[in-house]
Every structure is written in C-alpha cells, then in structure tokens.
Structure 1
C-alpha cells in the first residue's frame, strides 16, 4: 500500500484537524449533487479550479476545487523560511496546503463574525469519483490528462488533480462560496474598503500574503490559499525581518492594485490610501498590526493542551524513525 496523507475524518468533521480555526462541511456527509455550469477561474491558477455550480438543485454558488500538493513541495516552497523542520511531515499539509489555509482563514472569519471581510464561504465538499471525471471532461485545458483516485495508476503528479502516491484514494476537496458579481472592477466605494478590510484581517491573525488584483472581486478577497492564520508555526518560527519583508510584499500588491484602478479611471488617484503608500515607501517599520499578535488562545477550551500541541509540533521529526 502506498504512503498516505492523513485520511479525512469519517463522518466528516471541520477541517483541518489541527489546533485552531476550521471550516465545517457544507452538508452532513460532505457530498452533494453538483451541476457544473461555467468555468470562473483563471487559466494559470496553480492551486485550484473554480466553477459556477448548482448544488442539490437549488441555488448557484462558486465552487473552488483544490489540486493536491506533495508534502515535499509544501515544505520546500511554502515553508522554506522556517528556522527548523516541523515535528511531523503531515503538519506541512495541515498548515501550508492551500485547501487547509483557506479553511483556517474562513474558520477564523466565522469565529469572529467577520465574514463580510471576504466573499463568504459556506463549507467544504468532497467530490465523488464520477464528479471528478465529469469535470475533467468539461475542462479543455486538461482534458488529455488522466483523472484517477489511484485505484490502478501510478500516481506521480502527472494527472488532472496532481495526485501523488501519498494522495492515494483521497477525494478532491472543495469550498462552497457565494457567487460574486461578474463586474470586472470594484466601485469607488468598494475599492475604498480594501485597505481597511486588510488591516482588520491582520488584526484577526490572518496574514493573507497574496493580495494582487486577481484575488479581489467587488473589492472583497476571494482567495486565502496562501494565507497563514494564527496560530501558525510560520509566524512563530520565521525571523521578524523576514515577516516584515513578506508583509511589505503583501501591502505592495494591494497598492499596485490601487494604482491599476486609478490608471483605469475606476477610482480617483486621491483615494489611494496615503498610509498604505507610506508603509510601502520605507515605513514598514511603523506598521504595528502584525497578525502574530492575535490572541488565538481566547478560543481555546483548554489552553494548556493547545499550547502543548503547538510546542510539540515544533520538535524536529526524525526522518530515520520507523
């Protein structure tokens, strides 16, 4: 039997299975009848596939379905700035996998009753093998790639969902979201709120890290697939100077989006936040609203247990251990 990523809970439970915020299943079984209506994403999306869907014959939603990522890819690329390895290879999936990153961010928004800071997420679903195959047939770009759960094929990542052997038999995970307006650009009022919203997200312990214009619709974030939500090992282990650099990059992406909107005439250049410009022009040291300051233990029912879990996850795992 090939090596597995940690199996999903049965019956379905909020994910991911680590200490901190989680997202509940959309239905009690995490399955639903899904009709794929229209592709909504971008052709170059690396983490996911987004379609307009109808679920259980009632109501339209945006369904974001996530590709699989190898644990080694996550540890080498998404967690490369950690000062030391995590205690178990599975923790890289729990904390850095794009699906889990989104579940944790949306879970925090639900905890704090702040779901208006982003396009709303309603829960997660698991695709059936038939739904996977149906979608593969509808997707022109990848129609020639095999679509397999791993029953017979060798899984080397060269398939529709990017499965490797460690994903053998695991279903595709998806998040159900509100169907946002198809308007290409935000109104001036919507644009004005983007900077204010980002600062509140930071205050809630959510480091978005990916705020380019393509991740906004109607002035609201739609993508948290690269986000870190407290508690998160990266915000404990990474040097403060590195976090500052990452924060500067995040703020600069949003500022560039404001510049783009101004150049297109969507907003008045005078409406570009001056403090955001200041932080991006050399005053990042003055930014105080860092996500790692969030008191994540306030949601804990047993703070000692949760703190112990976090401390144990920082111990280096022994790759030579049986």
Structure 2
C-alpha cells in the first residue's frame, strides 16, 4: 500500500463531531469550530512529539482559562509503516490509518466514549475541538521557534495536509500541584473503568496524570479499533501491551509513594498481583467492550468493519 499522491479528506463544513468513522467522536467546542484565542503561556513538555499545550483564554469570555492541546501533523506513511502489523489485515486506505492512529483522532475517540458513557469524571475533561486559523498557527510557531517564516515547518504539514487547519482540543485547566492521597488512590479504579469502556490508554506514566486524573489519550485505542482485535497471532502481543499499561501505573504509584511519604500512599494489592503473575485474571479488557452499544446505525457499523475497513486479497 502506498500513499503517493494521497490527500487527506477535507474536514466537514459546517463542523461535525470527529473523526468521521463509526465509533465515538468529539464535537466542536463552538458551532464553527473557530474561536478568538488568547495564548497565555506554554504548559506542555519540551519533548512532546504529538502536540503543543498552552494555557489560553477563548472568545474573551469570563469562563476563565483552558488548556488547549494543538496537534502536529504526521504523514499517513508514518501510521502505515508503524501500525500495519498491529491490525488483523492491512487497512483499506491511508485515510483509515489516520482515522484510527492519528493522535488527535485517538483523543477524540477516547473522550467521545467517556462522554457516551457519562463517565467524563474518569479523566481531565475535554470540552470540544477547535480549528486554528492560519494567523493562530503562525503565532504559536513564532512564539516557540522565533522564526517568522517557519522555515522548519513547525506543525509538520505535508502536501497531503494541504488546506487542513491545525486541530486542537479544549480541556479543563487543572493544577499541576502534587496530588492528594485520595486522588492517587482513585487512579487504579479509574483506569479499570476506562478499560471496561473499551479504551486502551497506551501510556499511563506519571507525566500523563494531573491531580490523579489522566490528561493524555494521544496513544489511546478505543473499541471498535483494529489494533485491539485479539487474533490468533496478536493475542499474546495485546496481553503484553495491557500488562505494560498496568505496570506503568504501578511504577507511578511507587514513585508517588516515595515522593509523598507524608500522604501514606498505598499501592493497590490487586494491581501488584496483576503485574506480578496474575494478569490472566484481569477482566477489564478493552477488546471485550460491546462497541455497537451506542451506535445509532449498528448494522451499518458492523458492515463497515466486515466489508470496508480492511484490505481484502
């Protein structure tokens, strides 16, 4: 499969929930998905490869501040080369690899599922997506690089992204102070609930938590997702990924236990047990989620997966 000469599909106008494949989606933050944005200061990490996160005010309203996560572009070949081996069959088009593996789309699908299930309490809340104007894109690039001409292509835009705006997700702004013991103890039951909703987070290290809540789903796979299907050749690999997910949270607990000695942090015994030798008893596997549960057209969704999603010989 090659994406030579391929152009990503245009975003819907007027804006609709994204991404445009069956499954959960995130709605626009405003009816037009555009807004006046005042960029206050950078919030993310210098080595972030997927996004820029800034503290912002939006439309000059009195609602206070937000965190705005703006996503870089990646060529579809990146997803094809890195994820073809993680799907039962190659996907039918480069667009589908972007729909399922692009960081912005991963976050939209995970947050869309939390909203469907009325469980937005399980993570720092996402309020909708925005599309940056060219002027807003240029402003952020200049602030970060100091290069008025953006000679290094700050946003990673390629020919296949022609006319596509930078996509961003508006999130609640939360404190980066150390979490309390109660917040830490909630991380494990929250992750189990997230898994039970068909979401594999993909990255549960400490840097992706604020106040004991997940804030990053840029690596998340949400059912139905072709990388979560436990085929005969992939079941053991999926089990390894799930175990790694639990182990990263376990490491997070031990790090917090050492850093917050006065808070009396307790590492959950069942988390330790699953990570040590009893993972096969873990029941909240995302792949087991009934992904047709909230589909408005379940027959069409099932037909898409069976007939259109994968490349057939």
Cα 1:267–1:122 shift into 2, 3 Å: farther
Partner of 1:152 in structure 2? Answer: none
Partner of 1:151 in structure 2? Answer: none
Partner of 1:86 in structure 2? Answer: 91
Superposition RMSD on alpha carbons, in Å?
A: 1.9
Q: Distance in 1 between matches of 2:164 and 2:215?
A: 25
Deviation per CA, 1:94-149, whole angstroms, max 9, x where unpaired? 0000000000000011111100100000000000000011111211xx3348548x
Partner of 1:37 in structure 2? Answer: 40
Q: Is the 8 A contact 2:70 2:167 kept in 1?
A: yes
Q: Is the 8 A contact 1:23 1:123 kept in 2?
A: yes
Residue 199 of structure 1 pairs with residue 192 of structure 2: yes
Q: Is the 8 A contact 1:23 1:107 kept in 2?
A: yes
2:171 pairs, out of 156, 165, 177, with 177
Residue 18 of structure 1 pairs with residue 21 of structure 2: yes
Q: Distance in 2 between matches of 1:266 and 1:61?
A: 31
Cα 1:176–1:36 shift into 2, 3 Å: same
Q: Distance in 1 between matches of 2:161 and 2:107?
A: 19
Q: Distance in 2 between matches of 1:79 and 1:258?
A: 33
Q: After TM superposition, where is structure 1 displaced by more than 4 Å over at least 4 residues in a row?
A: 266-270
Query: What is the SS of the residue equivalent to 2:127?
Result: strand
Partner of 1:257 in structure 2? Answer: 252
Partner of 2:104 in structure 1? Answer: 99
Partner of 2:156 in structure 1? Answer: 162
Aligned counterparts, 1:221-300, within 5 A: 221-236=214-229, 239-266=234-261, 271-300=266-295
Q: Is the 8 A contact 1:188 1:267 kept in 2?
A: no
Partner of 1:155 in structure 2? Answer: none
Query: What is the SS of the residue equivalent to 2:112?
Result: helix
Residue 113 of structure 1 pairs with residue 108 of structure 2: no
Unaligned runs of 5+ in 2: none
Partner of 2:134 in structure 1? Answer: 129
Q: Distance in 2 between matches of 1:49 and 1:287?
A: 35
Question: Per-residue deviation at 1:182?
Answer: 2.5
Question: Per-residue deviation at 1:280?
Answer: 1.0
TM-score, normalisation: structure 1: 0.91
Cα 1:116–1:263 shift into 2, 3 Å: same
Q: Is the 8 A contact 1:121 1:177 kept in 2?
A: yes
Question: Per-residue deviation at 1:269?
Answer: 6.4
Partner of 1:143 in structure 2? Answer: 146
TM-score, normalisation: structure 2: 0.93
Unaligned runs of 5+ in 1: 149-157
1:77 pairs, out of 68, 78, 82, with 82
1:211 pairs, out of 189, 196, 204, with 204
Residue 57 of structure 1 pairs with residue 60 of structure 2: yes
Q: Distance in 1 between matches of 2:92 and 2:262?
A: 48
Deviation per CA, 1:206-263, whole angstroms, max 9, x where unpaired? 1101000000000000000000011111112651111100001111111111111111
State which drifts further: 298-307 or 200-209.
298-307
Q: Is the 8 A contact 2:198 2:289 kept in 1?
A: yes
Q: Distance in 1 between matches of 2:240 and 2:97?
A: 22
Q: Distance in 2 between matches of 1:78 and 1:266?
A: 41
Q: Distance in 2 between matches of 1:52 and 1:83?
A: 40
1:190 pairs, out of 179, 183, 198, with 183
